[in-house]
Structure 1
Amino acid sequence: MAEEKKAAPTVEDIVAQTTIADVYRAAKQLEGVARKTRLIHSDYFSEISGNDVYLKPENLQHTGAFKLRGAYNKISQLTNAEKAKGVITASAGNHAQGVAYAAKKLGVKAVICMPATTPILKVEGTKALGAEVVLYGDGFDDAYAHSLELQKKYGYVYIHPFNDREVLLGQGTTALEIIDAQKDIDAILVPIGGGGFASGVALATKLVNPNVKVYGVEPANAACMKAALKKGEIVTLGSADTVADGCAVKTAGTLTYAFCKKYLDGIITVSEMEIMGALLSLIEKHKLIAEGAGVLSLAALSKLPMKGKKVAAIISGGNIDISTISALIDKALIARSRVFCFAVQLPDKPGQLELIAHILAAENANVIELNHNQAKVTDSFKKVVLEVTCETHNEEHVQRIIRALGQHGYEVERIY
């Protein structure tokens, strides 16, 4: 009688059978490939969080993100026959460049399906790493579906961005570096998209030192892992609209869900304004650039259920274009009352603009834009609307300006 084919391991089997030796094996594979990013102590984030905060700057990693750790570990584990087939994936972001980088290092053909709407800089960046880029569809779902068709047609090996054991083991090497650098660390914050990074970091941390807390961080607008853990099963969100586009995932992975369920201590969600504020603070205080998803851990620091502890916050990536940085900074400045825009009605006669300028100067507000508009006033031909945008210090400063204008008889309409 022919021997029965051995059943493939279940998700539960994979979780149960994965040990710390597997993470150390991944670390060995990554020696000389992944940069061991050093911890940076942050006085600023320590002060605002009430903890002793250390930044793990994976935005300074090769390709600008942690993703190459998992991609390289996965591709390096393939057999020679599998490597000869080439690898394929779908991504418009960090995973694309991680796979391309790893494949080039290992001499493996890589095909990356990217949406046709992908910014040209990301496309060219991926091509520069030696990958063949296929542009298809209007979004990730279209590109992903096409990548599966190409895999079936040409026999490529698929490199999933998160729902893969070897991928998450590679990501988990980040935790080994944190613990090695700061052996008395009390907690680690890690962002969650599909859950591969959080799975690897939580697994590695708990198997090295179960006393260290590990918290995942998700955008409130795309909290697929929190929803899954709350319901006790994988769920698909109706939308995932967030400035942290690297974590805009509607459905967590089956494998990553199981690992997070076993090893994570909790999930913290952060708002869009908190994400943008964290980005602004990182730029101002540390002169470091990160993407929206990259600063999730920083945005969650003030929400940690602990004080006076040593905390590592992982900055997961820094691949962001200049126009996006500019837009996020502008919104963060507004949210923090660092930019104040208001309108007042003025009599249409000489000297009124000068008076407003004197009031603002007396209150130490720097005017950056003026708009003098007569057409906006409909009830009087003798009045004009003046819109003013100025730099301010904080909300208290804004309120002081509003009071000063009011004392001179001006009724202020706050625009933002």
Structure 2
Amino acid sequence: MTLPVTPADVAAARKLLDGAVLRTPTLPAPRLSAITGAHVYVKYENLQVTASFKERGALTKLASLSAQERAAGVVAMSAGNHAQALAYHAARLGIRATIVMPKFTPIVKVAATEAHGARVVLHGESVGDASEEADRIAQAEHLVWVHPYDDRHVIAGQGSIASEMLEDAPDLDALLVPVGGGGMIAGMAVAARDMRPDIEIVGVETQLYPSMWNALHQQSLPCEGATLAEGIAVKQAGTLTRELVSALVSDVVLVSEPTIERAVNLFLTQQKTLSEGAGAAGLAALLADPDRYRGRKVGLVVSGGNIDPRIVASIMMRELEREERIVSFRFSMLDRPGELGIIAGLLGGLGANILEVEHKRHFLDVHAKGARLDVTVETRDRAHADTVYHTLIENGMDVVRVDWQAAG
């Protein structure tokens, strides 16, 4: 079978990337191994200058241009990592870059792309609209179109990730790889199958955007919704990437949004590294199906670390609630002096740290001489939270737990 990208293409890409793109480390992750039951190794592509793997494919494509094409310049459509990677390396090589982004693109991403010297054009409500405008600009201004994933040179560049991983950890049993349009997994599969024909290669998509899964299974599950993994929120898999994935990848699985949240949190709290939602998809798959990988050596790629700090803060708080290390109690009490002090004293004596207190008096379901008190506390773990709750009951408190799931 003749495939559009070969191991020789990946090897050539590695040579031109040497010294221009960081050879990121692949390191064992003992804490993640203890949590999942697998022997986990992590490739840290979030350490690249633009904090994502996209630099590899972007630079490989730029290096392939003729002198005439370089002089003309390049154009791309992207709402994130591909934009920054292409802008950064185009500036290094003295190539004029135009990036078309949807109008809703966060200002921070627009600013980061412009900071690398690119011309940014905001157009349309969706990436589809932006793609059409980029195509129009390419034809009108005779620019070279640099596709974010469905391009031979881009795919070959991304393949260097797997060759580096298998040099650093040659006995890996499986690779779990985030999948959007499929450029990274396609390139990695080409390299990995050449080095280790028996290795299991599993692509991971969010359940909200199963584009590659649909393509492989001839299904039409909807691709829509707000996802934490916007970097892999692709509605249509690539043509080249689909061919390579179909031939070389063992499986494509889907993961839920809460599992992606948990994976982002674990990378931060256990590995002390920042991963965007898409970058944590591989770990999410491992968390979702630990029995499949138990006892096996598994390689994960933190494909990017570009995530809004406010989202990170929200994820951490939500995970504390899921683990019941932050718990809310609702007290029904008499509205008289000293009642709040009694409750605070009980909670303090039980080692629960009070984070927030809200007094409510003006509700019809509250007694005219009473009050409702919502208290949010920090506990050590789920068992401690249970102890606090039952001890409050034993001390005569009229109290209920406010469930974070029910509260939304």
Q: Could you state the TM-score of these two structures normalised by the residue count of structure 2?
A: 0.93
Q: How is 1:262-341 mapped onto 2 (pairs within 5 angstroms)?
A: 262-302=247-287, 303-304=289-290, 305-341=292-328
Gap regions ≥5 residues in structure 1: 1-11
The share of aligned pairs that are identical, in percent, is 37
Map 1:12-411 to 2 at 5 A.
15=3, 18-231=5-218, 235=220, 237-302=222-287, 303-304=289-290, 305-407=292-394, 408-411=396-399
For the residues of structure 2 that align with 1:327 and 1:306, how far apart are their CA atoms?
Answer: 30
Offset of 1:379 from its aligned partner? 4.7
The Cα offsets for residues 285-306 of structure 1, whole Å up to 9 and x where unpaired, read as 2221111111111222232512
Q: Deviations over 1:179-213 (max 9, x none)?
A: 11111121111111111111111121111111221
Distance across 2 between alignment mates of 1:28 and 1:91: 26
Q: Note if 1:412 corresponds to 2:397.
A: no
- Residues 56 and 154 in structure 2, CA contact (< 8 A), matched pair in contact too: yes
Residue by residue, what CA displacement relative to the aligned partner does 1:125-166 show, whole Å, maximum 9, x if unpaired? Answer: 111212111122333233222212211211111111111121
After superposition, what is the alpha-carbon deviation per residue over 1:263-317, rounded to whole angstroms, capped at 9, x for unaligned?
1111232221111111112111222111111111122223251222221110000
C-alpha distance in structure 1 between counterparts of 2:197 and 2:390, whole Å: 55
What is the letter of the counterpart of residue 364 of structure 1?
G
- SS in structure 1 at match of 2:125: coil
- Contact kept? 1:405, 1:412, Cα under 8 Å: no
Letter in structure 1 aligned against 2:265: L
CA contact (8 A) 1:377 1:385 kept: no
Post-superposition offset of 1:24: 0.2
Asked if structure 2 preserves the Cα contact closer than 8 Å seen for 1:222 and 1:241, the reply is: no
Tell me what 1:4 maps to. none
Report what 1:5 is aligned to: none
Name structure 2 gaps, 5 residues minimum.
none
Give the total of aligned pairs: 401
Deviation at 1:240, TM superposition (A): 4.1
Q: 1:369 Cα shift?
A: 0.5
Q: Whole-Å Cα distance in 2 between the matches of residues 135 and 25 of structure 1?
A: 35
Structure 2: distance between partners of 1:272 and 1:295: 11
Q: 1:254 to 1:237 in 2, by over 3 A?
A: farther
TM-score, structure 1 normalization: 0.91
Q: Is 1:240–1:249's contact at 8 Å kept on the other side of the alignment? A: no
CA deviation after TM superposition for structure 1 residue 84, in Å: 2.1
The amino acid across from 1:203 in the alignment is V
Measured in 1, the distance between the counterparts of 2:224 and 2:115 equals: 33
Deviation string, structure 1 residues 7-42 (Cα, Å, up to 9, x no partner): xxxxx85x2x53211110111111111100111221
> C-alpha separation between the residues in 2 aligned to 1:296 and 1:18?
25
Any idea what the Cα deviations from partners look like across 1:369-409, whole Å, max 9, x if unmatched? 10011113535211111111122233333333332222224
2:372 match: secondary structure = strand
Q: Residues of 1 paired with 2:252 and 2:383: CA distance?
A: 33
Q: Which sits farther off after the overlay, 87-96 or 217-226?
A: 217-226
| Inter-CA distance 359–377: structure 2 relative to 1 (3 Å threshold) | farther
C-alpha RMSD of the superposition: 1.8
Contact 2:204 2:282 in 1 (8 A): yes
Partner Cα separation in structure 2 for residue 107 and residue 94 of structure 1 = 20
